[in-house]
Amino acid sequence: MKTVFFVLILLSFALKSTAAVSAELCQLEAGGGPGATGAFTELETLNIKDVVSLTAGQLSFVNQHLLDQEYSSEVLNLADIKALFSGDGEQASNDLFLYTFASAKSGKVYVQVKSWPGENPYAHIFAAESGVLVALNRDDSVSLITESGSQTSCSDLKE
């Protein structure tokens, strides 16, 4: 029984730690993109079909999204990514965007890589400075990523 109690206490601290660090990302659940609620300022919006170049960090973020969402089974260069989402590419009917935005409250900068496989968007959100994955945004339902790699739904934090 002491072990269960101890685990619950640790879990509680982990959730509170995550909430304190990234809970501002829960504002994205309101929908409409990072600038819609006033909680964030959009700094840059890139449509992968139109970009000429990406930074190494941006390319890394895009590849993590593509691998996790199973668009690709290997790391791709920008030309291959553009070919995948353009013209006769396998994903030409889908969109892939990078949104760089800053929190109005904390000033932290995030990069969201978002795709629309059909009508439901899926996104990975990274801390721009560290490159760490901090949240997932699936159909405007945000889950925060804890330091241990587990996920905490924003809707669970609201309860």
The predicted-structure confidence for 102-129, as pLDDT tens digits, reads as follows 999 899 999 999 998 777 889 999 999 9
Q: Of 117, 44, 48, 123, which is closest to residue 81 (Cα–Cα)?
A: 48
Q: Which residue has the higher pLDDT, 75 or 155?
A: 75
Q: Positive or negative, the Cα torsion across 151, 18, 146, 58?
A: positive
Digit-coded pLDDT (tens) for 19-40: 444 688 988 886 666 766 788 9
Q: Write down the domain spans for the chain.
A: 2-158
Contact between residue 100 and residue 43 where contact means Cβ atoms under 8 Å apart: yes
Alpha carbon distance 155, 26 (integer Å) = 8
Percentage of residues in the chain having pLDDT higher than 90:
58
- Considering the entire predicted model, what is its pTM? 0.82
| C-alpha span between 53 and 13 (Å, rounded) | 41
User: Does residue 139 sit in helix, strand or coil?
Assistant: coil
